[in-house]
């Protein structure tokens, strides 16, 4: 199964059952059906968002209690 982004309204038979797909939807469909509708321009593969970058570390600060010694 693959998730695709539907580019235009169309009707297809992903599992032998008539199914309507609306523009903007992101359904999971069988791989062979996904290959077909991507090749025809009805859909495109949904790209996974890039992994979140870790938050930058705060610069090290000197411990004020040690400086007093």
> CA gyration radius for the chain?
24
In-domain check, residue 32: yes
In-domain check, residue 11: yes
- Per-chain mean pLDDT for the chain: 86
Q: How confident is the model over 36-54, as a mean pLDDT?
A: 87
In-domain check, residue 53: no
In-domain check, residue 61: no
**Residue 59 confidence (pLDDT):** 72
In-domain check, residue 41: yes
pLDDT at 67 over 80: no
Alpha-carbon span 19 to 22, nearest angstrom: 10
pLDDT at 4 over 80: yes
DSSP for residue 25: -
- Count of domains forming the chain: 1
Tokens of 29: 């469909």
DSSP for residue 24: T
In-domain check, residue 30: yes
In-domain check, residue 37: yes
In-domain check, residue 10: yes
Q: What is the pLDDT of residues 9-40, one digit of tens each?
A: 999 999 899 999 999 999 999 999 999 999 99
* Residue 3 pLDDT grade (very low, low, confident, very high; cuts 50, 70, 90): very high
* Domain hosting residue 11, numbered range: 2-48
């Amino acid at each position: 199964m693959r998730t695709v982004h539907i580019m235009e309204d169309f009707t297809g038979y992903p599992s032998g059952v008539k199914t309507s797909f609306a523009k903007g939807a992101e359904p999971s469909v069988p791989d062979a059906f996904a290959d077909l509708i991507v090749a025809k321009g009805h859909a495109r593969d949904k790209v996974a968002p890039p992994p979140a970058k870790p938050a930058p570390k705060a610069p090290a600060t000197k411990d004020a209690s040690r400086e007093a010694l």
